[in-house]
Amino acid sequence: MRFMQHAGDYEVRGKGRLLARAARLGRELKWPAVGSLVAAVFATVARLAGPMTVKTGIDRGVADGDKRVVTIAALVFLVLLVVQYVFTKISRYGISWVGERYLLRLRSVVFGHLVRSDTAFFSRSKSGVLVSRMTSDIESLQEFAGDGAVMALSNVLTVAGVAVAMALVDIPMALAAFAIIGLLIGVSVIFQRHASRAYEQVRERIGRVLAGLQEGIAGVRVVQAFTQEQVQAASFGRANEAHYRANMRAGTAISWYFPSVGLLRVVAIGAVLVIGGLRVIDGTLSFGTLVVFLLYLDWFFQPIVNLANVYNLFQAAIAALAKLFDLLDVERRIEERPGAFDLPDPVAGDVALRGVGFGYDDEVMVLHDIDLAVPAGQRLAVVGETGAGKSTIAKLVLRFYDPQEGKVEIDGVDLRDATSESRTDAVALIPQDGFLFSGTVRDNLTYGAPDAGDDDIWNVLRAMGVDGWIRALPDGLETAVRERGSRFSAGERQLIALGRAFLNDPSIIVLDEATSSLDPETELEVEGALRVLLAGRTAIVIAHRLRSAERADRVIMIGDGRIIADGSHNTLIRTSPEYGHLVDVWERGRS
């Protein structure tokens, strides 16, 4: 009954169109799929032909005392078993191969779409949901591709084949059996509905149990500090009890379904024995026919039960497909205009925002009428209170978003007219936390410049003054950084991230306070590397601390989405009360 746990709870509309779209995605797998289906048909025919040889052996061999017929029937039965084995193996392998190849393509398509999606999409999407699409939803498809599809196909063919075989063997007994099997199908449908609702509640309750468990463990110090152990345990106990009750409702459905199936199976066999036995005594039915019919009847029950279970797995797979295709249907908001062209080569680094108005939501504007010109080579610090809009300016320069009003230019070119490749070559982002990918130090340094050679790498590292540190690593450039750079400290990760940006040789660098999370000693080391990196380049620094503003050539202060102060750090201290207040806050924070 494990398949019942995968029952889908996502409303799917237009299943026909969804399946047609899914088929188009895997159209190159059409012929392998057809081959697997043909092999499954041959395997089913071979299996169904087996009892007919038993009938022949009994009626024409055992009844007449003909050993030759019995021997031939046994040999034919053996050959059919071999044929069934071979074609079953082929069909199962083929179906699994088609399913896995399809999932391989689907994962690649979805992930490719995700990494090409614009920042606005990730801002409005929960990362947990996106990860769930690539894990639990793909796992639902994997379950169906690995087990469900094979079972569904083999059981559908078995049910159809057995129904035809029983009708060919004897119509009256077949009609009696079909009446009882009709009851089985009705019972299975009722069970499927009850169990599906029950397991939907189970999945909801287990989510609450896991959330309570995670919260209790993660916050155990707070729990103990406020002596709330009993309160937390009681809260978890309520969620656990609800999960128990949901499981018991599912268990209740199982407790009446399987005994009902067993009862109907015995009733069907009994009815066939009575009807067929009387006819055998009357001489209107051969004993071999009765035996064969009983074999077919026994084969009819289990596939129907299996299909009731697999139906839920199919529903979960369809829901997973719908969610993944919904993800693929999300369109990029940031696209190159037709006729987009490259920025000038080389890029000088002039940045300008002209009459820019922007809001993440069209109803609420974050920036209003921003006019800002940053000449090439200038280091600009953008300051302001939390939520003022300073990070938004950086996102617009990086073209994570397009403004609703005005335009953003680099060297006089509207970013909407520039090609993505030339823009990303010209502008680099250095975030607060130097994110590193799993792999080696070399892999991370050359991430934006894959053609860079050893001389290029070492020249950059030497200029930054960190070549000695890299050489001292266990394997130098080939040292593994581990997942998310866990091998290194925050400062070391930031140094590698700076080297990555330096090696890409951008003309404009956007820094989201690259030293704000570092200790003073590490900050000095990173600042030294930054001086080398920023020399001769335009820099827009989102400043969260006074030191970054002091080091800038120019400071602008954002308030309520507007530029309310513009000048050098020392000038603004004298002329801007708002900036002076902000500096006082910073000073008190440092003391």
CB 349 within 8 A of CB 372: no
* pLDDT tier for residue 589 given thresholds of 50, 70 and 90: low
The more confident residue out of 350 and 209 is 350
Sheet bearing 554-559, strands edge to edge: 427-430, 508-511, 538-542, 379-384, 554-559, 562-567
Taking only the tens place, the pLDDT of each residue in 38-64 is 999 999 999 888 888 888 888 888 877
- Looking at residue 343, what DSSP letter applies? P
Question: Spelled out in words, what is the top-level CATH class assigned to the domain 2-328?
Answer: mainly alpha
Length of the chain: 591
Query: Between 287-328 and 67-116, two packed helices, what is the crossing angle to 10 degrees?
Result: 10
Distance CA 349, CA 411 (A): 6
* pLDDT tier for residue 518 given thresholds of 50, 70 and 90: low
pTM (two decimals): 0.70
DSSP 301-370: HHHHHHHHHHHHHHHHHHHHHHHHHHHHTPPPSS-PPTT-BPPPSS----EEEEEEEE-SBTTB-SEEEE
The more confident residue out of 510 and 545 is 510
User: Phi/psi class of residue 355: alpha, beta or left (left: φ > 0; alpha: ψ in -120 to 50)?
Assistant: left
The more confident residue out of 455 and 135 is 455
Domain ranges of the chain: 2-328, 351-590
Taking only the tens place, the pLDDT of each residue in 279-308 is 889 888 889 888 889 888 888 887 877 777
Cis peptide bond N-terminal to 577, omega within 30: no
Distance CA 27, CA 533 (A): 50
CB neighbours of residue 156 within 10 Å: 16
Distance CA 51, CA 297 (A): 11
Distance CA 415, CA 417 (A): 5
User: Mean pLDDT in the chain?
Assistant: 84
Q: Pick from 350, 381, 388, 371: which is nearest to 570 by CA?
A: 381
Q: Pick from 263, 272, 269, 265: which is nearest to 303 by CA?
A: 265
CB 159 within 8 A of CB 152: no
Q: Pick from 308, 320, 318, 314: which is nearest to 148 by CA?
A: 314
Burial class of residue 62, CB neighbours in 10 A (0-12, 13-18, 19+): middle
- Whether the pLDDT of residue 108 is over 70: the answer is yes
The more confident residue out of 202 and 580 is 580
Q: Pick from 570, 575, 576, 497: which is nearest to 530 by CA?
A: 497
Superfamily of domain 351-590: P-loop containing nucleotide triphosphate hydrolases (3.40.50.300)
- Whether the pLDDT of residue 81 is over 80: the answer is yes
Distance CA 145, CA 142 (A): 5
pLDDT score for 182: 85
- What counts of helices (H) and strands (E) characterise the chain? 21, 10
**Bridge partners for 399 per DSSP:** none
Q: Pick from 569, 329, 526, 503: which is nearest to 433 by CA?
A: 526
The more confident residue out of 545 and 571 is 571
Q: Where are the alpha helices (DSSP H) in 26-66?
A: 30-56
Task: State the residue for tokens 């450039």.
Answer: 477
